Structure 1
Amino acid sequence: MGAFDLLRIANTSLGMHQTWLDALANNIANVNTATRTSEKAFQGQMVIAGARPDGGVEVAGVAYSDPIGRVVNDPDSPLADADGNVRLPEVDLASQMSQLVMAQRGFQASVQVTKNAQDTYTAALQIGR
């Protein structure tokens, strides 16, 4: 492993975790987005991470939750059908919040690896002075 491989790998992790955080933020923001029962529900995004051949990590894809969602009785909603039902997304807020903590910790760990590598490289450069 070369001297700068650590920085490259940490950088790929930062990118993947940022994408994961963005998807989670979008899901959390839309967890209560109601639609008419005749329309599709908001589709939550689930980021799929994959290993890169060079040791890094990448976004291998994005999976989406079921557009059918769940039908909930909310007769006060302006979007309610004749039976008083609306369609909500199939996004579990508790799960999204748990994943948010994991994604934040992963991002923070990648930042710390980058800072430690920078400090190490700076110290190594100071030796020659």
Structure 2
Amino acid sequence: MGLFDSFAISASGMTSERLRLDLIANNVANMNTAGRPNDPNNPVYRRRVPVFAEQLRQTMAANSTEPRGAGVRVKAIVEDPAPPRIVHEPDNPLADQDGNVAYPNINIVNEMVDMITASRAYEANVTALNAAKSMALKALEISRG
């Protein structure tokens, strides 16, 4: 693996984790957004999560055709299939004929755990990128000396 490969791998990890953090922030921001149960005109927000996939590339070596890792990418953004949380609020303007309002089934504790995990993964990629940069600078120093 070349030096620039490690830069690209760390950068792809940081980009993916940043998107994950954006989705978590969006989930938290919409956790109290009301909707009507079973109303296609007023749908309930659904929790969104990224699906990561490994990026592969073919090696250029003449004796090898096996793919090598080249980072990570977001393959898809999927919605949580969990049913919405139904709350009886007859005074809410979005209440149905039974007085029920639907809220996203988002648990703040799960979102906070996901946020901590994503931020730690982002930090790990920053650390790897800084280590690769430091090694490149040392190699330049050695070649000058």
TM-score, normalising length from structure 2? Answer: 0.81
User: 3-state DSSP class of the match of 2:3?
Assistant: coil
CA separation in 2, counterparts of 1:51 and 1:83? 47
Q: Structure 1 residue 42 and structure 2 residue 45: aligned?
A: yes
The structure that is strand-richer by fraction is 2
CA separation in 2, counterparts of 1:35 and 1:52? 38
Which of 30, 35, 60 is equivalent to 2:75? 60
Q: Which amino acid aligns with 2:141?
A: Q
Alpha-carbon offset, residue 3 of structure 1:
2.2
In structure 1, the residue matched to 2:111 is 96
Deviations 1:89-128 (A, max 9, x none): 1222211111111000000110111111111111111112
Contact 2:34–2:103 (8 Å) recurs in 1: yes
Pairwise CA RMSD: 1.6
TM-score, normalising length from structure 1? Answer: 0.90
Q: How many pairs were matched up? A: 129
| Structure 2 residue ranges without an equivalent (≥5) | 58-68
Contact 1:23–1:45 (8 Å) recurs in 2: yes
User: 3-state DSSP class of the match of 1:115?
Assistant: helix
Alpha-carbon offset, residue 40 of structure 1:
1.8
CA separation in 2, counterparts of 1:28 and 1:121? 40
Contact 2:3–2:132 (8 Å) recurs in 1: no
CA separation in 2, counterparts of 1:3 and 1:82? 63
With over 3 angstroms needed to count, the CA separation of the structure-2 counterparts of 1:42 and 1:67, relative to structure 1, is farther
Contact 1:40–1:67 (8 Å) recurs in 2: no
Contact 1:12–1:57 (8 Å) recurs in 2: yes
Q: Structure 1 residue 21 and structure 2 residue 48: aligned?
A: no
| Structure 1 residue ranges without an equivalent (≥5) | none
Which of 88, 95, 106 is equivalent to 1:80? 95
Rg comparison, structure with higher value:
2
CA separation in 2, counterparts of 1:74 and 1:121? 61
Contact 1:40–1:68 (8 Å) recurs in 2: no
